[in-house]
Amino acid sequence: MQIQKIFLFGIDNAGKTSLSQALRTGIVNPDNKPTKAFDVTDLILRDFEKNTEFKIWDAPGQVTFRKTWGRGMDAANMMVFVLDTADKKRFEEAKKVLQQVTNDLETRVTPLIFLYHKVDLPEAKANLGDAQKFFKSALVSDRKTYIFKTSVKEPETIAELKKTIGNIAQESRWG
């Protein structure tokens, strides 16, 4: 079984840990505490030609912990950026964080999955158009970029994300 590394990042309170749980188990704990160190967990996808095991490196999003992200980015096969679409006043901070990581020489060719997350919330629905305009320029590059609207409360969005993760793994294995 081939093991691939997913670097899951974004600013604090974006929903990264809940997303990681939803990907792995389909169940979400509503009482997640802020992540203060990398939470490295397994995700195994079995519906592809070969089983693929992933190590999800769920990065702590607080400013004081972002300096530790280098080891999470190191040798990542793909990156997943999570935006709390409901929190419009933090879009600028989130965009700066995204650009810092995607402009790093180590990540220039790493595929990026960008998530407009928490789309089940009324605030996120109201902010979605603005978020798409605001982040458009940050998502234009030569790297493979996949963009989704997700919610841990909408299993079909998580299933589509898992399918894309598996497809990216397949492409990197045989492409």
Taking only the tens place, the pLDDT of each residue in 63-74 is 988 888 988 888
- pLDDT band at residue 38 under the 50/70/90 scheme: confident
DSSP-derived 3-state class of residue 37: coil
Q: In angstroms, rounded to a whole number, what is the distance separating the alpha carbons of residues 106 and 100?
A: 11
C-alpha separations of 10 from 15, 51, 83, 172 in Å: 9, 28, 6, 24
- Residue 49 pLDDT class (50, 70, 90 cuts): low
Full-model pTM = 0.92
Extents of the domains making up the chain: 2-174
**Cβ atoms of residues 82 and 21 within 8 Å:** no
Angle at 78 between CA 37 and CA 167, to 5 degrees: 135
Rounded CA-CA distance 43/129 in Å is 32
Mention the CATH class of domain 2-174: alpha beta
Encoded amino acid at 11, one letter: I
* Tens-place pLDDT, residues 113-128: 999 999 999 999 999 9
Local structure of residue 119 (DSSP, 8 states): T
At 162, list the tokens.
């898992």
Percent of the chain with pLDDT strictly greater than 70: 92
State the pLDDT confidence band at 48, using cuts at 50, 70 and 90: low
Listed residue (97, 102, 88) closest to 63, CA to CA: 97
